């Protein structure tokens, strides 16, 4: 009998997670849905204030997650193997945190029990971004680079 009462993300490696456990790790921040620009000279990736057409900017979730690759072919699929390849994932990302040996933050819905804490903590893109659907036809992503 297993007497380890720790939450599954503390007991298992990322590669041991079931699909539902993996999906539940997403905190709903919407950060990975930001368009990003990479500086060709330095390799530094800069997030923009523009997000994918499928992101619900208030709820911070994909409006067609199951079929997203049909309309957004370059949408990434995070896997236990690929997390470490995406250095642009924010340090707050649950997948990145766990891959780096850290625990989930207090505001993560699996810890807090409330999906709103990610927004209340200011981690999500809610209120900070513009959907690419609403960009002017002549818009350039460079004009929407996030200032750091």
> What was the pLDDT predicted at 2?
62
pLDDT score of 1: 55
pLDDT value at position 3? 77
Amino acid 49: pLDDT:
95
Give the β-pairing of 55-56 and 34-38.
Answer: unpaired
Nearest-angstrom CA–CA distance, 27 and 115: 8
Q: Where are the alpha helices (DSSP H) in the chain?
A: 8-11, 19-24, 68-71, 94-99, 109-112, 117-120
Which residues in the chain come in under a pLDDT of 50?
A: none
User: In the chain, what are the domain boundaries?
Assistant: 8-133
Confidence (pLDDT) at 37: 93
What does the alpha-carbon distance between residue 39 and residue 36 come to, in Å, rounded to a whole number?
10
| Number of neighbouring beta carbons within 10 Å of residue 73 | 7
Residue 146, pLDDT score: 76
Q: What local confidence, expressed as pLDDT, does residue 4 receive?
A: 85
pLDDT of residue 54: 97
């Amino acid at each position: 009998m297993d007497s380890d009462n720790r939450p599954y993300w503390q007991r298992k490696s990322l590669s041991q997670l079931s699909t539902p456990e993996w999906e539940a790790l997403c905190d709903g921040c919407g950060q990975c849905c930001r368009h990003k620009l990479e500086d060709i000279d330095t390799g530094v990736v800069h997030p923009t204030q523009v997000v994918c057409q499928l992101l619900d900017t208030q709820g911070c979730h994909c409006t067609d997650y199951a079929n997203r690759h049909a309309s957004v072919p370059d949408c990434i699929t995070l896997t236990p193997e690929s997390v470490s390849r995406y250095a642009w994932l924010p340090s707050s990302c649950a997948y990145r945190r766990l891959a780096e040996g850290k625990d989930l933050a207090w505001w993560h819905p699996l810890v807090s029990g409330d999906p709103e804490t990610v927004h209340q903590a200011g981690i999500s893109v809610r209120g900070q971004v513009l959907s690419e659907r609403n960009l002017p036809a002549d818009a350039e992503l460079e004009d929407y680079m996030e200032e750091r």
